[in-house]
Amino acid sequence: MNNLDKDYWSSIFNLRFLGYILLILSFIDVVNIFIPFQFTNPVWEFQMIGALVEHAPLPLIGSMLVFFGEINYRRQVEIYLLNFISWAALLAGILFLLLLPLGINNTWRIDNQNRAQIINHSSQQITQMQQIKKVLSKATTNQDINQIIKSLNPQENTPELKNPQEVKSQLLSQIWQLEKNTNNQSHVVQNNTHKELIRNSIKWNLGAFICSFAFISIWRVTHWAR
């Protein structure tokens, strides 16, 4: 082997070594993603899919590097290791493919869950406003109005109002406007949350499909290692 060949294969050995390092780091990342386990939790499962897709380039690059140069200048122990990595690539490809229905189902579940939480939160706020409005509407005398205003600010020493009826009208108008703003804000939050969820769902589910194709392709082209 001349010096040129030595330099060439030295570079290949370095690439293979780097590939093994990347695969080890990938394994650590995957373990970290799955701990702590929270299966049946749609949010955790959805984020887990996203994390796996986001970290997929590392094992893909590592796999390509360790298979670089094919069977040339390999020890028998390394051939066994490459056999395992080749089958592991197929397993990873199948698992990524199986993540697709899970990702789609969790998108639907999280969307319903988010909508219910937002509606429940806004409903509680509106209910409180309606209760205050109901109490205010029943207050007819100046004394009743002053007592209600004081009850709304129990930690402050609210002075007696000079024009309680006018303040009552202003408060009722403000509460009505708050109800309207709360409803509008609820719709805006629902739309923004829905759009963000769908964007991530498309990105991660499409990414899972591409990762599945990539890992299965690695398994197919490394038939020489099996």
> What pLDDT was estimated at residue 137?
81
Alpha helices in 76-141 (DSSP H): 76-138
pTM for the full predicted model: 0.83
Q: Which two tokens stand for residue 58?
A: 């590392």
Q: What is the pLDDT of residue 147?
A: 75
| pLDDT lower than 70: segments of the chain | 1-7, 152-162, 164
Q: What is the pLDDT of residue 3?
A: 58
Place of tokens 């219910």: 116
Task: Check if the beta carbon of residue 65 is closer than 8 Å to that of residue 16.
Answer: yes
Query: Which residue type, as a one-letter code, is found at position 49?
Result: I
What is the reported pLDDT for 208?
97
Nearest in space to 52 (alpha carbons), one of 5, 100, 84: 100
Q: What is the pLDDT of residue 174?
A: 87
Cβ(86)–Cβ(222) under 8 Å?
yes
Model pLDDT, residue 8: 73
pLDDT at 210: 97
Tracing tokens 């409005």 back to the chain, one arrives at 133
- Chain-centroid distance of CA 88 in Å reads 26
